[in-house]
Amino acid sequence: MSKRILTLKSILGFGCYSNVTIENIISRNKQEYLRWVYFNNSNIDFMPEILDIIKIPIEFRLNKPSKNIEFHEKLKEILGEKKEVVDWKRYDRPQKKRESSRYELLMMNHGHKRKLLY
């Protein structure tokens, strides 16, 4: 596998944010997840401005391809972040829109409010 250098417009392509751009992940305040990706994946690298945005100091930056899981834990202690016990798959994944049935569309067409059946 080759080394990927990601920009703000790049799509991550794996994990719970597989179809989301780096810019959207940052706007959702998920910098910790991007730091985890940087330190735990040897083939993923970010542009220097993204590393500044997600608060990775120069002394913690890696020469890719390599990974260092201990750096992520040390950086979390330095930044004073708490350990989150959050199921990433359950809460942060973009929700799929459910299609309306024929009956629901007919009722909406007649001016009734949409009732959520799920």
Listed by start position, the domains of the chain span: 4-109
Q: What is the per-residue pLDDT for 18?
A: 83
Q: What is the per-residue pLDDT for 90?
A: 61
Residue range 4-60, pLDDT digits in tens = 888 889 888 888 888 888 888 888 888 888 888 888 888 888 888 998 888 888 887
Binned at pLDDT 50, 70 and 90, residue 118 comes out as very low
Cα(43)–Cα(105) distance, integer angstroms: 47
Cα(104)–Cα(114) distance, integer angstroms: 7
Helix 31-40 to helix 69-79 angle, to the nearest 10 degrees? 150
Q: Using an 8 Å Cβ cutoff, are 67 and 26 in contact?
A: no
pLDDT reading at 85 higher than 80: no
DSSP string, 14-42: SGGGTTSBHHHHHHTT-HHHHHHHHHH-T
